[in-house]
């Protein structure tokens, strides 16, 4: 569904943060990108969504090259992106924020139908429909951001640090939501610092170091990988004495 080849991305002066990344995310699959701070994880998602100041490489969606499309056209094509920093309108209600998720759609009846479907998926948002976004808890705000992105019915949804700053109960809810989205046929690509929980919730994973993929594989295998465990999950590597 999503195929990334040779992606380079960075900032002013052509400074590369992401350096030649290949990545795939298939229908109904959760794929997580892990790595230490500064590895280029968030820049990777910005590069895929064509909002990084500097970008080269190929991004394909369902076999179609969408590399040259600006962000609004990528959203129309079926690629959604929920950034790490809060992107809600705090002085608008939950309902108003959700409706803004369909700003690219001209069919009001279609928007209304999708809003109903999204609220059915997130009952807490339906209950707080008339409340201001600023009054929601951190976890509820994250749910609202994800829900708003779903109004366009994306084929692929990218989540940047979706669990950051959340209470453990809400972290579990975020990952359960990602699994629900995958179960509905979407591809979910997320960047996460909560490595163990993210891998437990995912199908496959990539380890990014200094802008390059160093390890890729099934999530279960990465959980059991001694190096990944030592670096990202606080596990001690076994030391075997030499004979």
| pLDDT tens-digit readout, 63-111 | 999 999 999 999 999 999 999 888 899 999 999 999 999 989 888 899 9
Query: What are the CA-CA distances from residue 209 to residues 33, 37, 159, 187 (Å)?
Result: 10, 9, 19, 23
50 CB-near residues (< 8 Å, 6+ apart): 59, 67, 69, 70, 71, 74
> In 3-state terms, what secondary structure has residue 180?
helix
| pLDDT tens-digit readout, 177-206 | 999 999 999 999 999 989 999 999 999 999
Residue 238 has pLDDT above 70, yes or no: no
Whole-model pTM? 0.90
Q: Which residues of 179-194 are buried (b: 16+ CB within 10 A; e: fewer)?
A: eebbeeebbbbbbbeb
> In 3-state terms, what secondary structure has residue 101?
coil
What domains can you pick out in the chain, each with its CATH number? 2-89+155-232 (3.40.50.300)
pLDDT at res. 87: 86
Q: What is the CA radius of gyration of the chain?
A: 18
């Amino acid at each position: 569904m999503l195929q990334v080849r040779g992606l380079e991305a960075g900032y002013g002066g052509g400074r590369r943060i992401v350096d030649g990344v290949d990545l795939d995310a298939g229908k109904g699959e959760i794929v997580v990108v892990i790595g230490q701070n500064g590895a280029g994880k968030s820049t990777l998602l910005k590069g895929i969504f064509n909002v990084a100041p500097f970008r080269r490489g190929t991004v394909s969606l369902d076999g179609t090259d969408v590399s040259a499309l600006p962000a609004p056209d990528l959203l129309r094509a079926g690629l959604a992106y929920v950034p790490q920093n809060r992107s809600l309108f705090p002085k608008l209600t939950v309902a108003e924020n959700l409706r803004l998720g369909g700003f690219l759609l001209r069919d009001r009846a279609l928007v209304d139908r999708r809003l109903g479907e999204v609220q059915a998926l997130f009952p807490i948002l339906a209950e707080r429909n008339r409340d201001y976004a600023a009054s929601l808890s951190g976890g509820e705000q994250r749910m609202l951001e994800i829900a708003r992105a779903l109004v366009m019915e994306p084929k692929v949804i990218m989540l940047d640090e979706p669990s950051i700053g959340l209470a453990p109960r809400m972290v579990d809810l975020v990952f359960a939501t990602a699994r629900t989205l995958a179960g509905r046929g979407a591809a979910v690509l997320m960047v996460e610092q909560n490595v163990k929980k993210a891998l437990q919730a995912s199908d496959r994973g990539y380890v990014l170091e200094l802008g390059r993929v160093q390890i890729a594989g099934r999530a279960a295998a990465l959980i059991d990988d001694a190096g990944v465990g030592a670096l990202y999950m606080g596990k001690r590597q076994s030391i075997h004495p030499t004979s």
